[in-house]
Amino acid sequence: MAASGKGNSQNGVVTGGVEDAYGEDRATEDQPVTPWAVCVASGHSLLRDPRHNKGLSFTEKERDAHYLRGLLPPVVLSQDLQEKRLLQNVRQFEVPLQRYMALMDLQERNERLFYKLLIDNVEELLPVVYTPTVGEACQKYGSIFRRPQGLYISLKEKGRILEVLRNWPEKSIQVIVVTDGERILGLGDLGCQGMGIPVGKLALYTALGGVRPSACLPITIDVGTNNEDLLKDEFYIGLKQRRATGQEYSELLDEFMTEVRQNYGQKVLVQFEDFANHNAFTLLEKYRANHLVFNDDIQGTAAVVLAGLIAALKSVGGTLADHAFLFFGAGVAGTGIAELVALEISRQGKVSVEEARQKIWLVDSKGLIVASRNETLQPFKKRYAHEHEPVKDLLGAVKAIRPTALIGSAGVGRSFTKEVIEAMSSVNERPIILALSNPTSQSECTAEEAYTWSQGRAIFGSGSPFDPVKYNDKLFVPAQANNAYIFPGFGLGVVISGAVRVTDDMVLAAAEGLADQVTPEHIDKGLIYPPFSIIRKISANIAARVAAKAYNLGLASQLPRPKDLVNYAESCMYTPYLPILQMKDNNAELQTLDELCTTPLEELRMPITVSTIVEPLCFPVIIV
């Protein structure tokens, strides 16, 4: 697809020349423009192509080269000015869902500008494209539907999944996020309308983790829904039937996994998202040995919480093994975290995982999980069924176990009552309270409740964001214990190392990589995570840790191993900024993007300072 030489056009397709359609022409006499370019659609279709459309920031030269003259008003705006205008527009909407729709429209119109806006304003816009607003968007997806996003694979496509995958325009996919919509956040079964989640997660893969957008593929598998409201909803976008289960379900999933590998090879990361408990564990266990799979709700959530606990203990004191942990909710998130904490305790203290599990207690809808309930427990709960008399509710469990940390992931809003938080505060100087359920409506308690009821002593984190809280004249900044800290960097680490499997050690490495970035200053302020404003730096560090582990385990296929993995990860990250190419030395031999990509670094006599042009490539180029 790359073309060399000066720009020319054939049949409405322009092949580059002195400037490429991805970038702005900033050439000066001493800064020559690039000698390579990429074929793109021209004219009207270029303006309708969100990946390459630059709207009013197409330069005069580009307007000539790409048949845009007259199709745009005369003004040429900088990308910064476009961003300023868009931000003003988004802020004018007071209803979060309208902000969400405005941002989705932008993504559909001018992808680079969407990512620039998101990256530059991550703390403000994360709650719009992600939890909590994305939850409401999924609930109303049918009525707000404008243009399809992602790929839909329904029971109707059984036996034809390869054909569906081939219909997707991008061929070099690196990350797939897939859901079957059965447990969307803490909102339950939203069927096909769960599509908002893979779309949102992948937007974060790009904005927070730097995986290029064209390498990301959101997928929803529609096997029906048991949500009566949706089945009756005239605007519902999915199959109007009850969920397929058993063999029919597993055959469809098997076909999906097989065809993904057939179409994209074995190095595409498949992230399972928001599957119901019963399928989430089974699918992860079934595919992890032979496919590159990651379950965000089990492994991503576990890593972010473990990192938060490690950081919190820096102010509480002691090691993980010195404390007891109580989980409210024994589903995928709760038991996923419990297992990772147990693994870390066993690694730190050189004890068995079984012994480490003794520090961990779970409460489900029937009360504390104890040995006498063994007969009726699902296998993943049995490991935590310790000897103890029965305790029927959460408050009783807090009083009996006296845990240092209380971790909620049951999707039951307001279940951390005043009594529960007071009980935590009476046994701890600094109780650790993590209200992980999403979106905000399902949060176990609010930040204000946690701080007020603990008299300002709680170390609090929540899955969905809360504003800072003033209590007794002191400002408390709640942590957002959300897997968004982990999965973008984790995925980037997998991609840059060419890892072929995901192991628990890689997940542990991600958790440690995040915990290591919590500084003493953060701890002093009561923060257990660094701020999202530096998330790309955080992701690069996590990616480096994950990649290093993959190399050490012999699971990385991208050879040779780069010397400085953090630098390398950073250099591979997609950036939406329009490029300012600074060629220090004109390298006449390099004519095309393909040649640039295949030229060994040491031979690259043309250092460039931005990675923007890397976007269309299927593998990273180090930017010097």
Ligand X SMILES: O=C([O-])CC(=O)C(=O)O
Can you say which residues are annotated as belonging to the binding site for (S)-malate?
Answer: 183, 438, 482
State in angstroms the smallest separation of the CB of 295 from Mg ion: 9
Q: Pick from 482, 517, 539, 612: which binds ligand X (CB under 6 A)?
A: 482
**H or E stretch covering 480:** strand 479-480
Residue 131 interaction partner, one of Mg ion, ligand X, none, beta carbon < 5-8 Å per kind: ligand X
**448: left (phi > 0), else alpha (psi -120 to 50), else beta?**
alpha
Q: Identify whether 382 is a catalytic site residue.
A: no
Number of residues that bind ligand X (CB under 6 A): 9
Catalytic residue among 54, 140, 201, 381: 201
Q: Identify whether 201 is a catalytic site residue.
A: yes
Our finding on whether 173 is near ligand X (CB under 6 A) is no
- Cis peptide leading into residue 478 (ω within 30°): no
Q: Which residues contact 240 (CB under 8 A, 6 or more apart)?
A: 224, 231
Give CA angle at 17 (13, 20), nearest 5°: 75
Q: Which residues contact 599 (CB under 8 A, 6 or more apart)?
A: 590
Site string for ligand X, 262-281 (x = CB under 6 A): ------------x-------
Distance CA(179)–CA(198), nearest Å, equals: 7
Distance CA(141)–CA(177), nearest Å, equals: 18
In the numeric block, which tokens belong to residue 553? 């385990």
100 vs 130, beta carbon nearer Mg ion: 130
104 vs 320, beta carbon nearer ligand X: 104
463 vs 562, beta carbon nearer ligand X: 463
435-446: buried (b, 16+ CB within 10 Å) or exposed (e) per residue?
bbbbbbebbbbb
280 vs 506, beta carbon nearer Mg ion: 280
Residue 157 interaction partner, one of ligand X, Mg ion, none, beta carbon < 5-8 Å per kind: none
Q: Pick from 133, 438, 571, 612: which binds ligand X (CB under 6 A)?
A: 438
List of residues contacting Mg ion (CB under 5 A): 273-274, 297
Q: Would you tell me the crossing angle of helices 535-552 and 504-515 to the nearest 10 degrees?
A: 140
Q: Which residues contact 405 (CB under 8 A, 6 or more apart)?
A: 309, 312, 323, 325, 326, 431, 432, 433, 434
State in angstroms the smallest separation of the CB of 240 from ligand X: 25
Our finding on whether 299 is near ligand X (CB under 6 A) is no
State in angstroms the smallest separation of the CB of 80 from ligand X: 30
- CB half-sphere exposure, 556, CA atoms < 13 A: 24
Binding residue ranges for a divalent metal cation? 273-274, 297
State in angstroms the smallest separation of the CB of 503 from ligand X: 21
In the numeric block, which tokens belong to residue 137? 């968007």
State in angstroms the smallest separation of the CB of 482 from ligand X: 5
20 vs 274, beta carbon nearer Mg ion: 274
Our finding on whether 512 is near ligand X (CB under 6 A) is no
Q: Pick from 157, 296, 339, 344: which binds ligand X (CB under 6 A)?
A: 296
Q: CA nearest 366: which of 336, 328, 392?
A: 392
Instruction: Name residue 7's amino acid.
Output: G
Q: Pick from 34, 454, 462, 483: which binds ligand X (CB under 6 A)?
A: 483
User: Which active-site residues does the annotation give?
Assistant: 130, 201
Residues that bind ligand X (CB under 6 A): 131, 185, 274, 296-297, 438, 463, 482-483
